[in-house]
Amino acid sequence: MMQIEEAKNILVEYVRLTKPIFGNVSIDISDDIDVAKFPDELSKLKDQKEGLYIIWSKNDRRVIYVGIAVDIPRRVYQHIGKGYSWSRDSSTARFPHCTLAEGRHWLNPTTQKEMQDAEWNITAVLTNPGSFRGQLESMLIFWGIQNNKKPEINVEL
């Protein structure tokens, strides 16, 4: 399984190696964003919302999903689904209708529980230009497939 540190390193190295081909491209990798406290964590995106985002397990740091969005916060809210609660005032976050888990009975039961129990973090990879996000998503998933470390939820590719 791909670990979040490994994914970050691969992305940095890919950008370094492809600069002679693509020219002036860059990425800014956010600090870990705790989805259980998501509204309070949005400042870590530094007012840029477009890019690649990596969802990974708080428990074992494995990459669960890689996606792209023109508005990462809006996309994360879509993944969280309806009827959620945040972790505040000693309450526990819960995403009972997390779209990444709901209806995907083929997922590992541990992953389903992590998704619904808000046991995942996000790392945002803010791209310049914004359109570079698609290239990075494809590359990271392809790297995972080639190395038997494909993110569990990215089955369509």
CA–CA gap between residue 120 and residue 99 (Å, rounded)? 14
Residue 128 located in a structural domain: yes
Q: Which domain holds residue 52?
A: 4-78+123-146
Residue 101 located in a structural domain: no
pTM: 0.94
Encode pLDDT of 27-75 as tens digits.
999 999 999 998 888 888 888 889 999 999 999 999 999 999 999 999 9
Encode pLDDT of 132-145 as tens digits.
999 999 999 999 99
Rounded mean pLDDT, 99-108: 89
> 5 with 61: CB under 8 angstroms?
yes
Per the structure, the count of domains in the chain is 1
Residue 106 located in a structural domain: no
Query: Percent of the chain, pLDDT > 90?
Result: 78
pLDDT at position 157 over 50 = no
pLDDT at position 101 over 80 = yes
CA–CA gap between residue 128 and residue 2 (Å, rounded)? 25
Q: Is 60 exposed, middle or buried (0-12, 13-18, 19+ CB in 10 A)?
A: exposed
pLDDT at position 150 over 50 = yes
Residue 115 located in a structural domain: no
